[in-house]
Amino acid sequence: MIIRNKNGEFVIQSRSVLMDFITGTGKVAKDSGTDGRVFKFRDDVEVVSPAPFCLGVVSHDKGHGTGEPILQDAFPWTFSTFHLDRHDEKVDPKGWDVARFLENPVIEWAHCYSIPAIGKAVDLFVDDKGLCGSIVFNDKEYDVFGWAVGQRVKAGVIRAASVGFRALEIEIPKGDDVDIIFRKQELMEVSVCNVPANPWALAGKKAPPPSLPQGGRNDPFFAFIGNSF
């Protein structure tokens, strides 16, 4: 997680450092007064965090079950879910704000803003399971690199990516299983990358059914999955 304010940019890698920024020397957020320890960030603070998403089954026939055709070479993706990732964080699907992203729906490579976008997002929507949409990669004639990334996705070589977002409201749960739950967040960009934080963020992989344990870092099942990739 990256926190930016008038004093500069800070990389936060642990719960203790984050809590110091929120309630200690940083004072970048205020408690909403709820029992769940929900904090709202100040307007002059920008909090950017990457979160995993997974590649869905590629289809060129129908769009999200609506019966509408999707663009040729558009790859359907599940951008974000409510599952616990390897950073012990969760993103609430109900909290997504995508209004500004839709005005500039860029697809980046590995959160690298120094190179032009490698594609665009289309057919974006949010449901109870998460944030979903499709990716259209750039044509070869004007962007060989972006096209080549798309070819790797098509071949199954690259199968995951992450979303970059501005955190607006977070919850610090009690206990050790989950460090942070992002309750409200503004989508800034989507990046294709090599390695996802979410062990379920792989092409052709379905999210774990509710009956499977999802207890967090202390869950043996989660530990096994986390060490398998």
Instruction: Name the CA radius of gyration of the chain, rounded.
Output: 18
Q: What is the mean pLDDT of residues 104-123?
A: 93
Q: What is the mean pLDDT of residues 83-103?
A: 90
pLDDT exceeds 70 at position 207: no
pLDDT score, position 97: 96
CB 41 within 8 A of CB 29: yes
pLDDT exceeds 90 at position 72: no
Q: What is the mean pLDDT of residues 92-114?
A: 93
- Which of 20-24, 56-60, 110-114, 160-164 is least confident? 56-60
pLDDT score, position 115: 93
Helices (H), the chain: 15-23, 99-103, 144-155, 220-226
Higher pLDDT, 92 or 205: 92
Helices (H), 4-127: 15-23, 99-103
Q: How far apart are CA 77 and CA 80, in angstroms?
A: 9
pLDDT category of residue 69 using cuts at 50, 70 and 90: very low
Q: Which domain holds residue 82?
A: 2-226
pLDDT score, position 55: 52
* Number of domains the chain is built from: 1
Which of 170, 182, 174, 181 lies closest to 42 in space, CA to CA? 170
Q: pLDDT by residue (tens digit) across 129-167?
A: 788 888 999 999 999 999 999 999 999 888 887 888 888
